[in-house]
Amino acid sequence: MSATTAESRVAVATQRQLIWWRFRKHKLALVSAFVVLAFYVVAVFADTIAYTEPFDTQASRSYIPPQPIHWFDAAGHFHPTVNALKGTRDPRTFKLAYVPDASEPRDLVLFGHGYEYRLFGIIPTDIHLLGVVNSRPQDALFLLGTDQLGRDVFSRLILASRTSLSIGLIGVVISLVLGVLLGGISGLYGGWIDVVIQRVIEILRSIPTIPLWMGLASAVPNSWTPQQVYFAITLIISLIGWTELARVVRGRFLALREEDFITAAELAGASQMRIIFKHMVPSFLSHIIAAVSLALPAMIISETTLSFLGLGLRPPAISWGVLLQDAQNLQTLALAPWLLVVALPVIVVILAFNFLGDGLRDAADPYG
């Protein structure tokens, strides 16, 4: 009985429902969807989650190791504190060193006050997710330590995720426009124009991309503002990244052209525009969404790689690649291994996108 009700439920379900049911079955993809969402929430509220001005340098506080939060006080009650840092002089070298001072715990509060910023670029505020009572956060709170210039790694990491995640999104949009346009033309018209576009794709894919990116990126003048560099790099990455999307779009067009319902629409006298947008696009939209979610991590890796090499975004812009550049050599790694923590969000978000894309691809064709 239940089997038949389930079957009849499937029979009347809309395509959207079918895709959702199929996607839900892929647990890893479902979890990944939430992880990706969480990353973008962090990117949107980056200024609130960061607690220290990311450009605030204090040379004397370079390479402070991560400061743990003490969750409970001596009596065992929940009372999160961090130890204030006390400057001491080495009796022999007179070098200033900061050590956590356990006798001076500072209370940690949610939604405390910190540096001023504009939420969403509009609303001026100084409320941050974490705050330290009776002290500026940059005097006590170093969740992930500091870098060479004494900047707080945690705050920089949070703000970097905004750059890196958005560059991926914008890059994918540009690739998508190119891919849909060229792939669509290729698949729709066929003939010599298809041959030309296919050859271009083949050629682009047979050239090693990284040397090419490096060559193009090195031509970005030093005098450009961070915003200009940001768009130049996005453009360079997406100029080569569109081929895979074009391939997917062309493949779907070719497959759909043979379908009976397209022939039926043609026979019924529907215009070409109507066939494309009313019949074809809805049936391969899900495939494109899947392809996009697989293209995004590749974009993020590209940006991170280029910036890591020093050819992509450059300081004062902060992205994951720029931050990883600090962890490039062995001496730094030996001295400040916590700088490598930036690798973690990169790996997690790329994994999540891959799983999500996998799940979406499986769900994209719910009739299969």
Single residue of 1, 207, 267, 268 touching another protein by CB under 8 A = 207
Which residue, 134 or 218, has its beta carbon nearer to another protein? 218
CB atoms within 10 A of CB 78: 7
Sole window of 225-233, 260-268, 275-283, 304-312 interacting with another protein (rule: CB under 8 A) = 304-312
Sole window of 47-55, 77-85, 148-156, 206-214 interacting with another protein (rule: CB under 8 A) = 206-214
Residue 240 binds to another protein (criterion: CB under 8 A): no
Single residue of 64, 132, 188, 216 touching another protein by CB under 8 A = 216
- Which 3 state secondary structure label does DSSP give 153? helix
The stretches of the chain forming alpha helices (DSSP H) are 2-12, 15-25, 27-44, 46-49, 137-140, 153-189, 191-206, 209-217, 226-257, 260-267, 272-274, 281-309, 320-325, 330-335, 343-364
Sole window of 7-15, 76-84, 92-100, 305-313 interacting with another protein (rule: CB under 8 A) = 305-313
Sole window of 11-19, 35-43, 100-108, 196-204 interacting with another protein (rule: CB under 8 A) = 196-204
Residue 121 binds to another protein (criterion: CB under 8 A): no
Instruction: Tell me how many degrees the CA angle 43-46-49 measures, rounded to the nearest 5.
Output: 130
Residue 97 binds to another protein (criterion: CB under 8 A): no
CA 33 from centre of chain? 13
Residue 203 binds to another protein (criterion: CB under 8 A): yes
Residue 172 binds to another protein (criterion: CB under 8 A): no
Beta strands across the sheet bearing 78-89? 70-72, 78-89, 96-119, 123-132
Q: How far apart, in whole angstroms, are the C-alpha atoms of residue 140 and residue 67?
A: 8
Residues forming beta bridges with residue 83, ordered by sequence position:
105
Sole window of 146-154, 168-176, 283-291, 321-329 interacting with another protein (rule: CB under 8 A) = 321-329
Residue 191 binds to another protein (criterion: CB under 8 A): no
Residue 30 in contact with residue 139, Cβ under 8 Å? Answer: no
Single residue of 92, 330, 367, 368 touching another protein by CB under 8 A = 330
**Shortest Cβ 204–another protein spacing (Å):** 8
> Which conformational region is residue 335 in: left (phi greater than 0), alpha (psi within -120 to 50 degrees), or beta?
alpha
Instruction: Tell me how many degrees the CA angle 169-240-182 measures, rounded to the nearest 5.
Output: 90
Residue 51: name the closest of 136, 118, 119, 122 by CA.
136
Residue 271 binds to another protein (criterion: CB under 8 A): no
Residue 235 binds to another protein (criterion: CB under 8 A): no
Sole window of 72-80, 96-104, 138-146, 299-307 interacting with another protein (rule: CB under 8 A) = 299-307
Number of residues that bind another protein (CB under 8 A): 40
Residues 6+ apart with CB under 8 A from 153: 66, 142, 144, 145, 146, 147, 323, 338, 339, 341, 342
Which residue, 93 or 206, has its beta carbon nearer to another protein? 206
Which residue, 144 or 280, has its beta carbon nearer to another protein? 144
Single residue of 88, 125, 218, 271 touching another protein by CB under 8 A = 218
Residue 346 binds to another protein (criterion: CB under 8 A): yes
Residues 6+ apart with CB under 8 A from 352: 32, 35, 36, 39
Positions touching another protein (CB under 8 A) are 199, 202-203, 205-212, 214-216, 218-219, 221, 297, 301, 304-305, 308-311, 324, 327-328, 330, 333-334, 337, 340, 343, 346-347, 350-351, 354-355
